[in-house]
């Protein structure tokens, strides 16, 4: 068994909101439940419902801007900035800006649809 794995074919998560999600490592890609690493592209005007994830989420902005509402506080990140949002925090992610936002998301433990706890719209 090799001491490393190069990911050439990330799992593309099906979405209905125009967001591109490419999971490079995580539950959907290689069964890893400890961490997930995904490349994301959120189009202008994109948003998700509020959620209370059962994982810490780290986000690094490659280009564009992304808005977070965390426990009622609005935070806007720009290119080159990063944030850690602690598990069980109520958060909403969005891109209300006029350009796509490209970013990396790292979740520990790994993201699953069951542990994200999205609120009804």
The confidence band for 120, taking pLDDT boundaries of 50, 70 and 90, is confident
**Model pTM score:** 0.94
The confidence band for 5, taking pLDDT boundaries of 50, 70 and 90, is very high
Judge contact between 54 and 88, C-beta under 8 A. Answer: yes
**pLDDT (tens digit, 9 = 90+) per residue, 19-74?**
999 999 999 999 999 999 999 999 999 999 999 999 999 999 999 999 999 999 99
From the CB of residue 10, how many other CB atoms can be counted at a distance below 10 Å?
17
- Provide the 3-class DSSP secondary structure of residue 96: coil
Q: Which of 14, 9, 15 is nearest to 29 (CA)?
A: 9
Cα angle for residues 83, 80, 22 (degrees, 5° grid): 75
The mean pLDDT of 91-97, rounded to a whole number, is 98
Which residue segments constitute the domains of the chain, with CATH numbers given?
A: 12-115 (2.60.120.10)
């Amino acid at each position: 068994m090799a001491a490393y794995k190069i990911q050439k074919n990330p799992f593309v998560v099906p979405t209905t909101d125009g967001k591109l999600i490419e999971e490079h490592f995580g539950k959907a890609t290689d069964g890893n439940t400890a961490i997930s690493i995904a490349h994301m592209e959120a189009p202008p005007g994109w948003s998700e419902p509020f959620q209370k994830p059962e994982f810490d989420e780290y986000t690094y902005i490659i280009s564009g801007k992304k808005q977070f509402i965390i426990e009622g506080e609005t935070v806007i990140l720009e290119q080159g900035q990063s944030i850690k949002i602690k598990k069980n925090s109520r958060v909403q992610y969005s891109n209300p800006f006029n350009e796509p936002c490209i970013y990396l998301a790292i979740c520990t433990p790994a993201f699953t649809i069951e542990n994200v706890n999205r609120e009804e719209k």
